[in-house]
Amino acid sequence: MADARRAARQRIESLQRAGVTGVRKSRGVQKAAPAAKTPGGEKGKSAAKPPATSQPTEAIAPVAKAVETTIAAAPPLDNAADRNAALNLIREKVVHCTRCKELCTTRTQTVFGVGNPMTRLVFLGEAPGADEDKQGEPFVGRAGQLLDKIIEACTLKREQIYILNILKCRPPGNRNPEPDEAANCREYLEGQLDIIRPDFICCLGAVAARNLLQTEVPISKLRGKLQTWRGVQVMCTYHPAYLLRNPAAKRDVWEDMKTLMRAMGVDVDKKGS
Ligand code: URA
């Protein structure tokens, strides 16, 4: 019940952030407002790319201050320019980060994250691989191409969502992130999520799921139903790289994505698996 009330309050706040007026907060659970036409994109708007020419407003000032402390405490930013400016403040810290003694010497470059900062849906991966390390963008290799197909099957486009990783640097040889590396990067991840304030997060693979949710529960048990993290609805599913090795698991991932899309109000039920 408390979860439902929190979800309803978040939905109202997200509609208000998107400029929808006439939405009243009530003490009971308010019926969810009709889904926006492009639920994967900007809240309540069509999923246009962030306007490249618009300038951040003065709303960014408290966030800039909070980047040094706790972003969650800063007021929410309600437009793409402000959110991109705030994200760039964190990006700047990430570019120069030397917290992980090994990774900061082995990386070609950091891989911050990419996408629409006004999105309702964030995909969270593990860490950059060789292709991402080279190109500076998450999920651009073979696993990324499969992720693009998954996104497309959900009737969404990559530009409508945001993609980031637990780690911003490639672990040598694509080994799993060490716990201290994930802890070092946590502040950046939470900063990004505090700025974007998604309604939904899709964790790709065990490393993403277990790090975000801080649990030892195996991915096979986490997947299939929505979890919650700080009031955000979280779907955990298998990593696209795992699907490349185990194509039979694609069926499970498609079930997970349908559950997620239903929760978002996106109609994918008529599509095949
Ligand atoms: N795998 C991930 O988890 N993230 C990437 O960015 C690429 C591959």
No. of helices (H) and no. of strands (E), the chain: 11, 6
Examine the pLDDT at 21 and tell me if it is beyond 80.
Answer: no
Rounded to a whole number of angstroms, the CA Rg of the chain reads: 18
pLDDT tens for each residue of 81-121? 999 999 999 999 999 999 999 999 999 999 999 999 999 99
Six token digits for residue 99: 């917290």
For 252, the token pair is 């499970």
Candidate of 110, 139, 167, 237 to mutate for ligand 1, largest count of ligand atoms within 8 Å of Cβ: 139
Beta strand pairing call for 227-229 and 200-204? unpaired
Phi and psi at residue 227, in whole multiples of 5°? -105, 170
State pLDDT tens for residues 234-273: 999 999 999 999 999 999 999 999 999 999 999 987 665 4
Ligand 1 centre distance from Cα of residue 128 (Å)? 5
Q: 70 alpha carbon to ligand 1 midpoint, in Å?
A: 27
Tokens of 116: 């629409």
Q: In what order do the strands lie in the sheet with 162-165?
A: 114-115, 162-165, 121-125, 200-204, 232-237, 227-229
Could you tell me if the CB of 127 is within 6 A of ligand 1?
yes
pLDDT in tens, 56-90: 888 877 777 666 656 677 789 999 999 999 999 99
Closest Cα to atom 6 of ligand 1: 138
What's the rounded Cα separation, in Å, for the pair 170 and 176?
10
Contact 238, 219 (CB under 8 A): yes
Q: What is the percent of the chain with per-residue pLDDT over 70, rounded to a whole number?
A: 76
What confidence score (pLDDT) does residue 64 get?
73
What sign does the CA torsion over 243, 249, 250, 255 have?
A: negative
Calculate the average pLDDT of the chain.
Answer: 84
Does residue 126 have its Cβ closer than 6 Å to ligand 1? yes
139 lines ligand 1 (CB under 6 A): yes
Question: Is residue 40 pLDDT above 70, yes or no?
Answer: no
